[in-house]
Amino acid sequence: MTQRLHLVFGGELVDPSKNTFKAVDDLHIVGIFPNYEAAFNAWKSEAQRTVDNAHMRYFIAHLHRLRDEETEASTTEELE
């Protein structure tokens, strides 16, 4: 069975109309989740918790899309 990991994270944006964080060092890492449904539930919870702050945004990153298992490994992955 293929594992499809998702990362939920968020933070305060410089401008609510853009996706630039005010302070990357202050990002809130909610967690890594085994499927989209669990990630969505975590995202929704954090988004609702911070709804009064227009500059706060939470995102779901599809970690499984960062690596294509069918593609040969890059040279950095082969370092020992």
pLDDT tens digits along 22-73: 999 999 999 999 999 999 999 999 999 999 999 999 999 999 887 666 666 5
The identity of residue 22, as a single letter, is K
Residue 29 lies in a domain: yes
What's the pTM value of the predicted model, to 2 decimals?
A: 0.78
Residue 1 lies in a domain: no
Strand (E) or helix (H) holding 31: strand 28-33
Can you name the residues that pair with 12 across neighbouring β-strands? 56
DSSP annotation string for 51-63: TT-TTEEEEEEEG
Residue 76 predicted with pLDDT over 90: no
User: Domain with 61 in it: what CATH number?
Assistant: 3.30.70.2400
pLDDT class for 78, splitting at 50, 70, 90? very low
For residue 38, give every residue at least 6 positions away whose Cβ sits within 8 Å of its Cβ, in sequence order, or none.
6
Count Cβ atoms below 10 Å from residue 38 Cβ, excluding itself. 14
- The pLDDT score that the predictor gives to residue 70 is 64
Residue 74 lies in a domain: no
Residue 77 predicted with pLDDT over 80: no
| Domain interval for residue 19 | 6-66
